[in-house]
Amino acid sequence: METHSAVLQKLRNTFRSGVTVPEKFRRSQLTQLLTLIQENEEKILGALHKDLSKPKFEAILSELEIVLNELHFALSNLRNWMQDEHVSKILATKVDECFVRREPLGVVLIIGPWNYPMHLLLLPLVGAIAAGNCVVIKPSEVTSAMEAVIAELIPKYLSPDCFTVVCGGAEETKALLKNKFDHIFYTGSQSVARSILQAAAPLLTPVTLELGGKCPCFIHERVDIIAAAHRLAWTKYFNLGQSCVAPDYVLCTKETRDLLVPALKQVLLEFYGEKPQECPDLARIVSPKHWTRIMGLLGKSKGKVVLGGESDEDSKYIAPTVLVDVPEDDSLMQEEIFGPLLPLLTVSSVDEAIDFMNNREKPLALYVFSDDSSVVNTVLKKTSSGGFCSNDGIIHMALPGLPFGGVGASGFGNYHGRWGFETFSHKRAVLLRGWALERLNGLRYPPYTDNKLSWLRWTTSPKSCSIL
Amino acid sequence: LSRERQANIRARQAFLSGRARPLEFRLQQLHALMKMIKERESDIATALKQDLNRSQYDTPLLELTGLENDIKMAINKLAVWAAPRPVERSVLTLRDQVYVQPQPLGVVLIIGAWNYPWALTLGPLIGAIAAGNAAVVKPSELSECSSLLLRALLPRYLDKDLYPVVPGGVSETQELLRQRWEHIFYTGSSSVGRLVMEAAAAHLTPVTLELGGKSPCYVHPDCNIRVAARRITWGKFVNCGQTCIAPDYVLCDPSVQNQLIECIRLTLLEFYGADPKSSPDYGRIINQRHFNRIMSLMEGYTPVIGGQSDASQRYIAPTVLRDVPPQSRLMQEEIFGPVLPLVAVSDIDDAIRFINEREKPLALYVFCTDQKGIDKMLEETSSGGILINDVLMHYTLNSLPFGGVGQSGMGRYHGKHSFDQLSHHRSCLVRSLTMESVHLSRHVAPHFHLGRHLVLVLVWSQISSTVQSPVRVSCGSL
């Protein structure tokens, strides 16, 4: 099995030459990436449609615009991010230069998933390039049309000495992981994440894991149910539910549920019309395997379908579906659904909802819909999750100022904007001293005395600077 | 149920009770830790003397002052560190609250080291407490007296269930590593670091690894060699060379080598007198195994300074060797002892090449006056930290992040960095359900309206990306 060690060696040699470090180079590659997207929009959209039947609208928003925004943001802020960060000093270092310098790590590996094959591959790439690294880019083999487009376009626009695309499946990835990388950035499932960590451990390679889980959505009774239904439906059925931050299931009281179901019915009609299967604004499930998996969950479910439920195997279509009377131990509650099935589970209070969420693994995102800010605050304070959004969904990941990442079973590390730059950088502590003040240094040398010690304690305490 | 598993379960229950969360509680625990260090300094000094023949001055200097500074800083800044951190907003989120909220992770496992058993075990604990976590502390069994003392003291000052001390050796550590933690903080060798990361993989646990390696020290001909020698001597022989950031070896050209040797000889006399063995300020090797290891590294070489030893005391004299070949055993592993090899290089480029042929070290030291040379070193090498014209000192400045890169480790701590390392930085977007008509633009419309909506989408996404000079709006506390 091809380990690509020759390719790795080439990238390592390039990195050693220092060519990726200057701001000018990073800027040029980021700009090239911009051009790649701008010049190949049709091709990319075509591939996304082939792989996922992604509606053009969704593709533009969630696969192109988001990457373009990130690129613009990086280009605007790169110089700032690259600046040495001067830190506060103690008396002992008062006349020294003390700062943190961000340095590239070297050769990094980015492994992308299939649900947003452009966005979730290129957004980390922006951070890696901005930080001055060479990158091995591994797109998902599941979305084969996009894989081919990436393999074709990257070498055309980015420097082939610095950036390489490696294609393949699980076996090829395993072989690739035998190489030493300076960082591995993985987006995908927990089981694969474990094997990546196991491959990284003997080489002491730092890793960022962007995983998933079941993102809960608590809908409180004090809420504009129609507005909530709009936002809930949009975030749930976008990409036909195949988003790591899609609201996986809803928690609400019986009364709220009874208002929510007709509201959702109305919204689904508005969004997708009478015959959703014919609506071009709905994506499709990525593969027969996943279609079968989701339909299997539906088949085993003890819940009752109140909206949707239709499906078509040939076109990998599943209708936007809502279920009620779903028990806690239902098949739908055993794994991340990653599809257009929305179970509504009932709780009797906010506290019960909080306990329900806290009895489960920490999710990538947690949502609350309520007009009552004390309810929002309570849920916020008493739960943990990668990210939190009230009265909306998904959109928190479109803000480049916010770090995007998980906690616990949903992953560790983060990116977006400056956070991506930092993830792919080493924060090197730098202390530049002079030859003067050797007398002061003398306090630390043996033979030790009480007197020296008390002076020394004073000069190294953070308080001592305020006197000067 | 093993003792290790019980500690994990109890700590988790204590964490879930929520009592570690309020800032008042965390502050109280930090004050208590400070009290312990201040009240028990002489007990700690006694333990260290038995473990490492540590001079009583080295105890505050090397172990406790850093801790005190970190605790003081945490107490002063906790409210700021734990508060929501607002981020830039876009036009569409101007009326929302957008911020990062640091949160406790849960239960942290802290595995300490033997060379600075207090600083390296309690340092991470300060961060864990400040960040609102529970922490199971496993001190190194090699520094036996310190470990015993810590086990006795910590429960007397801190919450017993939230911060239990679990002693033990290899098998106890392995049992601890089988449990589920929200973060593992390990200080020690790279080989064990690998095992820690492997064990952490099963539970997808993030790790901080403070490892080691050979920290090079380059001495340029233009520097003040007398002062350089004094600083290097101090950094090398403190704690008998058993410091993860000690200058492991020196790179210099042959002419510098001669001067350096003479200056080091003079300095050693100044520091420890003619007979370092009888100086109260000179340490001992931690145990027989390490003593034998270090002695065997020197086999076949004749030192120019020192070389004497006494196995019964685990004493090795401050030793310097010249013209050490790069392929010698001495140059293959971290020495972690009072033996300083001088390796000849022809110039700064040769030194850089030498350094870059090897793993990225935890610390890199450069003695040089010429700014161009300094910049060259800075730009052409990588290391956890880098010091120009001194050694070790970056450790004392807790505004600098302390940690390695590559084989020398991952993650960082000290000061605020400890707090951040052991927190989860949760993105928060608190919106209202108003402005729905603006947001309707993003909702999918029947396809014959697609053209118009696409325009709206493009407009929306243009203004939703942060503008050049982002509006920085302060976010009120919740």
Amino acid at A420: G
Q: Are residues A282 and A265 in the same domain?
A: yes
Give this complex's ipTM. 0.94
Answer with the residue of higher pLDDT: B477 or B461: B461
Residues of chain A with C-beta less than 8 angstroms from the C-beta of B442: 61, 234
pLDDT of amino acid A251? 98
* Digit-coded pLDDT (tens) for A314-347: 999 999 999 999 999 999 999 999 999 999 999 9
pLDDT of res. B435: 55
Per the domain annotation, does A221 fall within a domain? Answer: yes
- Domain co-membership, A358 together with A456: no
- Helix residue spans in B303-426 (DSSP H): 348-356, 371-380, 416-421
A144 and A31 in a common domain:
yes
Residues A225 and A251 in one domain: yes
Residues in chain B: 478
Q: Which of residues 358-417 of B touch A (CB under 8 A)?
A: 369, 374, 378-380, 382-390, 393-394, 396-403, 405-407, 409-410, 412
Taking the C-alpha atoms of residue A227 and residue A205, their distance in angstroms, rounded to an integer, is: 46
Pick from A106-120, A307-321, A434-448, B25-39: least confident: A434-448
Among A63, A210, A336, A422, the active-site one is A210
- How many whole angstroms separate alpha carbon B165 and alpha carbon B138? 6
Mutate to test the interface with B, among A432, A438, A451 (most CBs of B within 10 A): A432
Specify the pLDDT at position A102. Answer: 98
Are A204 and B193 an interchain contact pair (Cβ–Cβ within 8 Å)?
yes
Helices H, strands E: what count in chain B? 17, 16
Q: A201 lies in which domain range?
A: 4-211+415-426
- Interchain contact B218–A (C-beta under 8 A): no
Q: Are residues A384 and A454 in the same domain?
A: no
Q: Determine what percent of chain B is predicted with pLDDT higher than 70.
A: 90
Q: Using the beta-carbon criterion (under 8 Å), do B429 and A388 form an inter-chain contact?
A: yes
What is the three-class DSSP state of B29? helix
Task: Specify whether A265 is located in the same domain as A385.
Answer: yes
d(CA B109, CA B111): 6
pLDDT of residue A457: 74
Mean pLDDT of chain A: 94
Closest chain A residue to B424 measured between Cα atoms?
A407
Best mutation target, A15, A357, A433, to test chain B (most B CBs within 10 A): A433
Q: What percent of chain A has pLDDT over 70?
A: 97
For residue A177, the domain's CATH number is 3.40.605.10
pLDDT band at B467 (very low <50, low <70, confident <90, very high): very low
Q: Are A113 and A168 in a shared domain?
A: yes
Q: What is the mean pLDDT of residues B44-69?
A: 90
Size of interface A-B (CB pairs under 8 A): 300
Please tell me which residue, B451 or A242, carries the higher pLDDT value. Answer: A242
Are B30 and B74 in contact, with CB atoms under 8 Å apart? yes
The CATH number of whichever domain residue A369 belongs to comes to 3.40.309.10
- Domain assignment of residue A233, yes or no: yes
**In a shared domain, residues A271 and A356:** yes
Active site residue A244: yes
Active site residue B244: yes
Q: Is the same domain home to A245 and A136? A: no
pLDDT, one tens digit per residue, over B359-403 is: 999 999 999 999 999 999 999 999 999 999 999 999 989 999 999
Angle at A390 between CA A387 and CA A391, to 5 degrees: 140
Candidates A65, A385, A429; nearest CB to B402: A429
Q: What angle do CA A177, A121, A314 make, to 5 degrees?
A: 100
Q: A87 and B442: CB-CB below 8 Å?
A: no
Contact assignment for B279 to A103 by CB distance below 8 Å: no
Same domain, A204 and A225: no
* Structural domains present in chain B: 3-211+414-425 (3.40.605.10), 216-403 (3.40.309.10), 439-477 (no CATH)
Residue of A183, A407, A458, A464 for testing the chain B interface, max B β-carbons within 10 Å? A407
* Binary contact (B429, A456; C-beta < 8 A): no
Structure tokens given for B30: 């930090």
For the stretch B393-432, pLDDT in tens is 999 899 999 999 999 999 999 999 999 999 999 999 998 7
Considering the entire predicted model, what is its pTM?
0.93
The answer to whether residues B222 and B370 touch, using CB atoms and an 8 Å cutoff, is yes
Q: Which of A412, A428, A448 sits opposite B206 (nearest CB)?
A: A412
Same domain for A65 and A178, yes or no, is yes
Is residue A409 in a domain?
no
**Is the same domain home to A151 and A18?**
yes
Nearest to B107 by CA among B78, B136, B129: B136
**Is residue A410 domain-resident?**
no
pLDDT digits (tens, 9 = 90+) for B194-203: 999 999 999 9
Q: With 0-12 CB in 10 A as exposed, 13-18 as middle and 19+ as buried, what is B216?
A: buried
Q: Apex CA A78: angle with CA A74 and CA A83, to 5°?
A: 150
Q: Provide the number of structural domains found in chain A.
A: 3
